[in-house]
Amino acid sequence: MVFSSITFLFYFLPIVLGIYYIVPNKWKNMILLLASLIFYFWGEPKYVLVMIASIISTYIFGILMDKYKKHSKLFLILSICVSAGILIYFKYMNFLIQNINLWLTNKIDFIYVVLPIGISFYTFQLISYTIDVYRGQAKVQKNIFKLAMYISLFPQLIAGPIVRYTTIEEEIENREYSFEKFALGVRRFVIGLGKKVLIANVLGELTNIFLTTNDSSVLFYWMYALSNMLQIYFDFSGYSDMAIGLGKLFGFEFLENFNYPYIATSVTDFWRRWHISLSTWFRDYIYIPLGGNRVSKVKWLRNIMIVWLLTGLWHGAAWNFIFWGLYFGILLIIEKVILGKYLEKLPKILSRIYVLVIVAISFIIFSGDGISQILQNIGGLVGISTKNIVSAESLYYFKSYFVVLLIGIIGATPIFKNIANKEKLSKFTNILEPIYLLLILVICTSYIIDGSFNPFLYFRF
C-alpha cells in the first residue's frame, strides 16, 4: 500500500484515524501498531514476519544490555550483526553471488529472495535504537509492543524519514493533540501528495519517454537530466512531507528530511539539506565513531570514503549505487581539501549552478542501467554521444512538459514559501489555503483514479 493510492487515501487512513481518536489514550499505541502491521502486510504478507523477527531480536538484546551492563558491548555487537545480517541476506546476497561468480568456474546458484519493502529504513532504526541504548542516550523500552509500534509506524515505515527512537521517545508515552496540529498535518500531507502525484509522476513520464525513444539530441539529454533530478527530489521529498504530515495527525513530531537542497552552494551544503535523516545517521553512527575529522588526514579521508561507500550501498545492491556513493565521496574530499575556500568566494549563482550540474550527473549515475548507458547519458549533455543539438521530437516534448518543468524548478526553491509567508499576504493566503489544498487533493485523486503513471522510486530501498 502506498500513500498515493485510493485504498490508502479513502479507506485505510480515514478508518484508522476514526478508530484512533475514538479509543482511550492507553489503547492508541496498540491501534497504531495493528494499523502499521496491516499496512505492511497489505504489500508484503510474508515479509512482515521478517520485520517482526527483527523487532523481537532488537528488543531482547536491548533488555540484555540493560540487565547485564558488563556485557552490554557484546549484546550490542550481536544485535547489530543480526539486524545487519538480515538486511545483507535480503538485499545484497545475490549481488555478492553475482560478483563472486565472475571469478569461479563452478558458479554458485542464486537464491530466490524478494527485497522486503522498507527494510533499509527500519533496519537503520533498529540499529540506532540499540546503539542509543548502549550509549545511554535512550532508555531501554521494556514494552515490546511500544518498541514494535515505533519501528513499524506506518507513516515512516516504507520511505522514511529515518526516525530515531530518541526523537519520539517521550511521544510514545505522551502525545499532544490539537486542532491546529491536526490541520498542519493535513496541510503537509496534501502538499506532499501534490508533489508526488502532480510533479514527480508527470516528470517520471518524461524520463521514461527519453529512455524508450531513439532521439539523441543534446536538448533531450538535458531534459532527461533535469526531469530525472526533479522527479527524484519531488518523489522522495513528497513522501517525506506526507510522512511528517501523517505523524502530526497521530501526535508525533518527525524531524525535517529535506531543506531545499537544490539551492545549495556546495556539495557539502547539498548533503546538509538532502535526506537529512540518512546523512545525520551515517555521521552519528559511522563517521564520528571512526574518528570523524579528529584523526590524521589520511584516516579522515578514509572515513569519508567509507561513509560514502556505505551510503551508496544503502541505496541499492548494484554497481551504479556504489559509483554514485564514491562519486560524492571524492567530490566532498576535493571540496574540503581544495575547492571549499574558492567556492565561498564565488557569487552564489555560480556556486549553485556548479552544485546543480554535479547533482544532475550524480542522478544519471544513480538511475543508470549499466556503465555504457551512464557514460552515454553523461556524454550526451556535452554532445559527445550525439551530433544533434535539437530535434523535432525533443522540441515537441519540451513544449509539452515545459510548464511542469518550470513548476518543478520553482517548487524546488523557497520562492513560493517566502511569498506565502510575507506579512502583507498572510491574511490573503490563509483564506485561500483551504481552497488550494482541496483543489490539490481533488486533482491528485483524479490522476490516481485515471490510473496515471504512479511509481515509487524508494520501494527498492
Among all chains, which residue has been given the C-alpha cell 480515514?
A: 14
Written as nine digits, the cell of 274 is 538532502
Of the candidates 71, 53, 81, the residue with the CA atom closest to the CA atom of residue 134: 71
Closest CA to 315 of 343, 282, 356: 282
CA torsion sign, 120 to 125 to 127 to 128?
A: positive
Three cell numbers, residue 358: 554535479
315 is catalytic: yes
Q: Which of 307, 315, 408, 411 is catalytic?
A: 315
Q: Determine contact, residues 325/313, Cβ cutoff 8 Å.
A: yes
Range list of H helices, 195-296: 201-212, 218-249, 267-273, 276-282
Whether cis (ω within 30° of 0) applies to the bond prior to 161 is yes
Comparing CA positions, the residue from 143, 152, 82 lying closest to residue 118 is 152
DSSP codes of every residue in 294-330: SS-HHHHHHHHHHHHHHHHHHH-SSHHHHHHHHHHHH
Task: Point out the residues that are catalytic.
Answer: 315
